[in-house]
Amino acid sequence: MTHLPTEFPDFELTPEQRRQAVRTHYWERPGMDGERGEIWCYTDRFSYRAGETVALHVSSTAPIFGIAIIRDGGSETKLFEKAGIAARWQDTPDQCSVEGCGWEASFEFRIGDDWPSGAYRVTLTADGRNGQPIHCHQLFIVAPQLGQKPGRVLQIAATGTWLAYNTWGGSNHYEGITGVNRDQYARMVSTQRPWCRGFVVLPKGAPRVPLEVAVPPKTVPRYPHMEWAFATGHSKKYASSGWASYDSHFFRFAERAGYAVDLASQHELHFSPEILDGYDCVAFVGHDEYWTWEMRDAVDAYVTRGGHAARFAGNFMWQTRLEDEGRRQVCYKYRARAEDPAYRGGDVTRATNSWEAPEIGRPGSATFGLNATRGVYAGWGGCAPRGVRGFPVYRPEHWAFAGTGIYYGDLLGADSHVYGYEVDGLDFEIRGGLPYPTATSGAPEGLQVLAVGMASQVEESADIPLKDQFLGDEDGRFTAETLFGEASDANLDRVKRGNGMIANFPRGKGEVFHAGSCEWVAGLLRQDTMVERVTKNVLDRYLGKT
């Protein structure tokens, strides 16, 4: 087993700076780099197909820049390079996070007919005012052409979640500069802005959210990923979402393992659900929290008619709506019942609340077998900080565990810490030493629970003062109010103890496998052989190889 350090990493911050890193709102914005100068860019869309034109919107203190485009997969392949492109500084609206930046297009290029589907990393380089180079990173997806794709996996990038966490410009679905006092999260966020720092590229060793420290009892919670972000100038949310922290690790692993993998954004699911046609296996990975009704319709229909959904992801929490042809994402979240128009004469089933709100009537378990509010936090802050780092296995005879050598009671992925950050689960009961969903859990018919770990919606310790808690019980009380109508202590007690599961069930002619943890990809990143074997078992079965 991995032996963990007993001291938190030191990023040379003062105690006050460590507090600021966690408690204050900071973000990327035009002019933040001052005299050094800066360059920013965004693409007009998340994804394109071969032959289409990409419009790059650039704002730069330098008059010219160079561009390099690399396909970021099992290996890195440079597809395009050009120098001497003209640029200028473009004014940015104060509420660009909500409205979009509105910059004019600075450069256009065509996706080559031979560019394979995947993620394409754009690096812009220019001269700073001090003579040192300045950089900007952007990402776009080349989606596959329609048609039969025997033997190929389609990975759906969690772009709704990227968008929800993107801090560039000041506001996202968590914190913000909106509202009368400029202190509210944004209920609407725009695609027309750069990605925040850390979403596209990260240095090796950037901390992940789950703690890699053996936290002694009575230790005040610390958040190394936010401390590192504050110390290095990265987004506060880099470790919560993005290509670099999550989606990339599955894509690279799969290609290196010999699988043929295509990539699409969630916008394709919403606007072009036929993109799933022709694939035997569709994969969802990492932190995959925000979905529209239409995206779920696409997956449900695909599985029912014989498709296979492999979800190695956690936190299936929020319903969103897309507006302005997909350029704006709407999610009222905690303020939905008070402010979302869907509650005032609209279709309440489309309210941008938790999927498990009774009035929506479509819990996440109806699509992927597990629910977010029955799981949530594990292994960070004060939520099960010394809990299991892997999935406790109950049904080792299941086909997903073939060849792993795993036993009943073993922890799958503990060395690589695959169980954590945010997990999904169900109410369950133990009978004969095995877990079964309760009759009121919302589990689909035929669901088997393969592994179960503990989680929490509350930072709960009699030895840690409330002033030292970051997560506290706010999310737990929201869940209590959402599910039971009142955020009382009694209702909080009903929801605060959660779990994370691995589950498998049939639907129609198809099948779903769900490893309900954001951190499954950490096992692929860290080359955990047992996690890799389970991943391959799922892909091979769903591609008809076994």
CATH class of 263-313+364-543: alpha beta
Instruction: End-to-end CA distance of the chain: give it in Å, rounded.
Output: 31
Task: Tell me: pLDDT of 1 over 80.
Answer: no
Instruction: Please state, in angstroms and rounded to a whole number, the distance separating the CA atoms of residues 158 and 432.
Output: 38
Q: For residue 341, give the 3-state DSSP assignment.
A: helix
**Residues 378, 454 contacting (CB under 8 angstroms):** yes
Radius of gyration, CA atoms only, the chain: 22
Domain-wise residue ranges, the chain: 263-313+364-543
Q: Which helix (H) or strand (E) holds 18?
A: helix 15-23
Integer angstrom CA distances of residue 408 from 220, 386, 393, 428, 434: 34, 21, 6, 18, 10
Integer angstrom CA distances of residue 510 from 139, 263, 269, 447: 33, 21, 18, 13
Enter the tokens of residue 295.
């995206």
Q: What is the pLDDT of residues 348-367, one digit of tens each?
A: 999 999 999 999 999 999 99
Q: Ramachandran region of residue 475, left (φ > 0), alpha (ψ -120 to 50) or beta?
A: alpha
pTM of the full predicted structure?
0.97
Rounded to the nearest 5°, which phi and psi values hold at 6?
Answer: -105, 0
Task: Tell me: pLDDT of 36 over 90.
Answer: yes
Which of the residue ranges 167-171, 216-220, 280-284 would you say has the lowest mean pLDDT? 216-220
Q: How much is the average pLDDT of 133-158?
A: 96
Q: What is the pLDDT of residues 447-482, one digit of tens each?
A: 999 999 999 999 888 788 877 877 888 999 999 999
**Nearest Cα to Cα of residue 91 among 106, 105, 74, 104:** 104
Neighbours of 277 (CB within 10 A): 14
Instruction: Please state, in angstroms and rounded to a whole number, the distance separating the CA atoms of residues 322 and 220.
Output: 40
Q: For residue 526, give the 3-state DSSP assignment.
A: coil
> 201: Cβ–Cβ under 8 A, 6 or more apart, which residues?
121, 137, 244
pLDDT band at 2 (very low <50, low <70, confident <90, very high): low
Residue ranges of the alpha helices (H) in 205-333? Answer: 224-232, 248-256, 266-271, 293-304
215: Cα separation from own chain's centroid: 26
Q: Going by DSSP bridges, is the β-strand pair 39-43/53-60 parallel, antiparallel, or unpaired?
A: antiparallel
Torsion angle in degrees (nearest 10) through CA of 371, 373, 375, 380: 140
pLDDT at 271: 98
Instruction: Please state, in angstroms and rounded to a whole number, the distance separating the CA atoms of residues 431 and 233.
Output: 51
**pLDDT more than 90, % of the chain:** 94
Tokens 């309760």, residue? 438
Q: How much is the average pLDDT of 435-450?
A: 98
Instruction: Please state, in angstroms and rounded to a whole number, the distance separating the CA atoms of residues 284 and 314.
Output: 10
Instruction: Please state, in angstroms and rounded to a whole number, the distance separating the CA atoms of residues 14 and 485.
Output: 43
The number of residues in the chain equals 546
Q: What is the pLDDT of residues 49-101, one digit of tens each?
A: 999 999 999 999 999 999 999 999 999 999 999 999 999 999 999 999 999 99
Instruction: Please state, in angstroms and rounded to a whole number, the distance separating the CA atoms of residues 331 and 323.
Output: 11
Q: What is the pLDDT of residues 98-131, one digit of tens each?
A: 999 999 999 999 999 999 999 999 999 999 999 9
**Residues 320, 162 contacting (CB under 8 angstroms):** no
DSSP 350-404: G-SSBTT-TTT---THHHHS-EEEEEEEESBTTBSTTS-SSEEBS-TTSGGGTTS
Would you give the DSSP letter of residue 289?
Answer: -
Q: For residue 378, give the 3-state DSSP assignment.
A: strand
pLDDT band at 489 (very low <50, low <70, confident <90, very high): very high
Sign of the alpha-carbon torsion through 167, 173, 176, 180: positive
344: Cα separation from own chain's centroid: 30
Rounded to the nearest 5°, which phi and psi values hold at 374?
Answer: -90, 5
Task: Tell me: pLDDT of 503 over 60.
Answer: yes
pLDDT band at 137 (very low <50, low <70, confident <90, very high): very high
> 224: Cβ–Cβ under 8 A, 6 or more apart, which residues?
8, 9, 11, 207, 211, 212, 213
Using the CB atoms, write b or e for 328-337: b if 16+ within 10 Å.
bbbbbbbebb
Neighbours of 469 (CB within 10 A): 19
